[in-house]
Chains A and B, each alone.
Chain A
Amino acid sequence: MELLERFAAGDPDAFEALFRQHQREVYAWIVRIVRDSGAAEDLTVETFWRIYRARDRFDATGNFRAWARRIATNAALDHLKRVRPETELVDDFPSPPGGDPAIGSELRRHIKQAFLELPAKYRLVATLALIEEQPYNAIAEAAGISVGLVKVRIFRAVRMLRKKLNFLRAEVKAN
Chain B
Amino acid sequence: MNNHEKDKELQALLKQALPPVQNTELQRDLWPQMLRRLDEHQLHVPWFDWVLAAVSAAALIFFPGAIPALLYHL
Contact = CB atoms under 8 A, between A and B. Distances in A.
B30 A45 contact: yes
Contact of B18 (A35, A41, A103): A35
Contacts of A132: 20-21
Interface residues of A, number: 38
A61 interface: no
Contacts of B13: 103, 107-108, 111
A24 B24 CA distance: 9
A19 B29 CA distance: 10
A31 interface: yes
Contacts, number: 93
Contacts of B41: 49
A7 interface: no
Nearest to A46: B37
Interface of A: 16, 19-20, 23-24, 27-28, 31-32, 35, 37, 41, 44-45, 48-49, 52, 91, 93, 95-96, 99-100, 103, 107-109, 111-112, 115, 127, 130-133, 158, 161-162
